[in-house]
Structure 1
Amino acid sequence: MQPRKTDLARTALQAHRAPLDMRQRRLLILCDGQRDLPQLTAMIGPEASAMVIQLIQAGYLVSSAAAEPTPPPAPAPVPTPAAPAAVPTERRRSLVAARIYLLGILELQRHPHAAALLHALQQARSDEAVIAGLHTALDALPALTSPGYAERVRQRLLEVLPKEQVDGFQTLAV
């Protein structure tokens, strides 16, 4: 099976407003009709097949091999991927990933204050300084962008932060 994007997926990737997490977006980007499921599994991880099935059911992907035979086997695997999908996500949480993500977001902002926040976060060396820089940038982001965008950035940051850091960021109101 070689999944490919639907028009809904292309719209969702361009608009950044779809209810997709980072791993689902990454998978959608890779599903070009040229890569098969084993290749996607090698790139994304063992939960790729379950994510493909979920995205097919949601209408974001279609199978190049056959669109009709895919849905009948889909209901059986769908309940089981919830537990395995959480395990790799837990391993990929890191302060470095959170820092890189927010640096990228700040780099996209064309504002002098965003440039200053970017520089401060780049210069942070200790974990405490990085966490303080992340807090400062998240506090300032609603003034630099729309509140909805700032909230999505905060949610994505919560996905990659280590569990022990998440509580301090959940209390932030964007």
Structure 2
Amino acid sequence: MQPRKTDLARTALQAHRAPLDMRQRRLLILCDGQRSIAELTALLGQDAAAMVIQLIQAGYLVTGADAAVSTQPAPSVAAATLAPSAAAASAAPVERRRSLVAARIYVLGILEMQRHPNAAALFRDLQQARAEGEVLRVMQSALQVLPALTSEGYCQRVRQRLMEALPVEHCGAFAAIA
């Protein structure tokens, strides 16, 4: 089975407003109709197959057998936005891999996209930071500076994605930054 994106998935990836978490977005990006479930599992971990099923049920993915059906209109947007939440609630909680390195790389990418001297300085500081405490301090500074550089909605999405990537023991230090 080689899942592929539907029009709903393409719209969700472009809009950045769909109720998808970071791993679901990553999975949607990788589902190009060329990769099998085994390849996706190797890339994303053991819960990839369960996420594929959830995204198929939500209307974001179709399989080879469903591809002919995908030319029909997609389900309504209201049903599509409710389905991922219901699927996530019914699924067993999955412990996601979290790491300070992944969080650091994510923040570096966000800072690199900003065209501002403050962001460039924070980018350099975060690149050069070696100690765990120093990395955390620079990432906190970046989250505090980001609202002055971008929109509030974008800042909220960055915070949410960062909280998904950070190890649980460090989330408390970032929760107060809002």
Q: Secondary structure at the match of 2:46?
A: coil
Q: Where does residue 4 of structure 1 map in the other structure?
A: 4
| Alpha-carbon spacing, 1:80–1:151, altered in 2? closer, same or farther (3 Å) | closer
Query: In 2, Cα distance between the equivalents of 1:18 and 1:135?
Result: 26
Q: Where does residue 103 of structure 1 map in the other structure?
A: 108
1:82 counterpart (81, 92, 95): 92
- The 8 Å contact of residues 4 and 32 in structure 1, kept in 2 or not, is answered as yes
Letter of the 2:43 partner, please give it.
M
Q: CA RMSD in A?
A: 1.9
**Unaligned 5+ residue runs, structure 2?**
69-86
**Unaligned 5+ residue runs, structure 1?**
69-76
Runs of 4+ residues deviating >2 angstroms: 65-68, 77-83
The alpha carbon displacement at 1:66 in A equals: 3.7
Q: Where does residue 131 of structure 1 map in the other structure?
A: 136
TM-score by length of 1: 0.85
Q: Where does residue 60 of structure 1 map in the other structure?
A: 60
Sequence identity (%): 67
- C-alpha offsets along residues 78-106 of structure 1, whole Å, 9 cap, x if unaligned? 887423x22xx1xx211111111100000
- C-alpha offsets along residues 96-141 of structure 1, whole Å, 9 cap, x if unaligned? 1111110000000111111111111112121111111011000000
Count of residues in correspondence between the two structures: 160
